Amino acid sequence: MTETQSEVSVEDEPRAPNNVEVRVAANLEQLSVLRAVAAHIAMREDFDLDAIADLKMAVDEVCSTLIMRATPGSTLTCRFQANGNDITVQATVLSDSDSTPSRESFGWRVLTTLTDTVNTWIAPASADPGGYLTHIELVKRRGSASG
Amino acid sequence: MTRSHSPQTNAPGAARDGYDHLMPLFEELAALDEHDARRSELRDQLVTAHLPVAQHIARRFSHHGDLREDLTQVATLGLINAVDRFDPHRGTDFLSFAVPTIMGEVRRHFRDASWSVRVPRRLKELHLSITAASTELSQRLGRSPTPSEIAKHLKLSKDEVYEGLEASNAYHSVSLDHVLLQDSDAVSLGDTLGEDDAALEGVDYRESLQPMLRQLPERERTILILRFFGNMTQTQIAKRIGISQMHVSRLLSRTLEELRKGLLEER
């Protein structure tokens, strides 16, 4: 996969008609693609403008965090799932690091502020090429009338 | 628009009389040889003396939401051009020549810098009406509106609203936003500095964050702190500072990106 390549696929599982998966080179230049997809999905879900902007910034934060720890040449996978009242985003990258992104950082503060829940975990990758899969998952609920 | 105006900059009419004594300097400048060392000295003197004119024009345009400091720079550039190109022997006074030159520079700035890519006029207008509608609806609803609420309000289809919202991605933070920053001092320094420190109390990375926060322009820092440490929504911040929610959103994204770069370099 080259640096500029990106791939958007819409899964057609009957239970999850609103799944979108985007796979891009783990490169900061791809952030705008992911931001645009996030904003577009939130807009189509008729989230309010605050929630749309929050989701977009959160996806930006998640993906840049993952890209910065990605194994060179690897792929970032970002799955968006609209569930009616919330949007779940799960992003995964292959990393050489066996620790999760810090929860004490400013970036994590940004994520917890912008989303309703956010979680991160790692899992060993398959033996070839080895390394660890770093996951971050967030949920953004539809803005309520109280803001 | 009430603060920090020095008295001599209040009205161009009043100022005009104040610049007459500079005419001999223009004569002198025009008479000098192109390589004369005194040229740059005279030029600096003339530019400095006329700075209030540039500031005045920048202030007039900053009603349109641009950052005044940016505009002042653009206007000063226009002023320098005017000083360089003015011919005192044409029989007009300098201000009659300089004011249109400076305004031309500012207008060009809006045309060139506001939209990062060429965006059709229809989309620009759509973007402006969405911004205005969103501000109005936010006030009524007490939260930001959804695309379908905006569509209903503007009697547009949802697709048109989507299109207008997406056009804002091509919109720079230097913008013609209609709901505007009348005065970037609207949230005063005293108001937020105390809050900053209190809000950052007990934050582990405070020590690495604080120097970077201090480097941010005051407005960007205020917005960042209110959002991430004061837990205010963008709409609430927009109302407090007097700019649109979309403008807050753009400033926040840009600030986060700058901070990320900064935190990255530090490692």
Q: Is the pLDDT higher at A116 or at B139? A: A116
**Mean of the per-residue pLDDT values of chain B:** 75
B183: tokens are 């005065």
Say if residue B112's pLDDT is above 80.
no
- Residue-level pLDDT at B107: 74
Residue of B nearest to A59 (CA): B253
B112-123 average pLDDT score: 63
Beta bridge partners of A78: A22, A91
Q: What is the DSSP letter of B88?
A: G
ipTM score of the complex?
0.83
d(CA B29, CA A128): 75
Each residue's pLDDT tens digit, A29-41: 899 899 999 999 9
Backbone φ and ψ of B244, nearest 5°: -80, 160
| Chain A residues lying within 8 Å of B165, measured CB to CB | 39, 43, 49, 52
Say if residue B173's pLDDT is above 70.
no
Instruction: Give domain status of residue A147, yes or no.
Output: no
Determine the straight-line distance between the first and last CA of chain B, rounded to whole angstroms: 42
A127-138 average pLDDT score: 90
Instruction: Give domain status of residue A131, yes or no.
Output: yes
Contact (CB<8Å) A143/B144? yes
Q: B234's torsion region: left (phi>0), alpha (psi -120 to 50) or beta?
A: alpha
Instruction: Give domain status of residue A104, yes or no.
Output: yes
Instruction: Give domain status of residue A29, yes or no.
Output: yes
Confidence at B156, pLDDT banded by 50, 70, 90: very high
Contact B122, B102 (CB under 8 A): no
Instruction: Give domain status of residue A54, yes or no.
Output: yes
A33 at the B interface (CB within 8 A)?
Answer: no
Say if residue B212's pLDDT is above 90.
no
Domain that holds residue A18: 6-141
* Å between B214 CA and nearest CA of chain A: 15
Domains held by chain A: number: 1
* Å between B152 CA and nearest CA of chain A: 13
Q: Which CATH number covers residue A19?
A: 3.30.565.10
Contact (CB<8Å) A113/B236? no
Backbone φ and ψ of B202, nearest 5°: 75, 10
Say if residue B241's pLDDT is above 50.
yes
B204 at the A interface (CB within 8 A)?
Answer: yes
Instruction: Give domain status of residue A1, yes or no.
Output: no
A8-28 average pLDDT score: 74
Each residue's pLDDT tens digit, A82-104: 998 999 999 999 999 999 998 88
- Residue-level pLDDT at A46: 95
B80 at the A interface (CB within 8 A)?
Answer: no
Say if residue B203's pLDDT is above 90.
no
Instruction: Give domain status of residue A128, yes or no.
Output: yes
Q: Is the pLDDT higher at B197 or at A134? A: A134
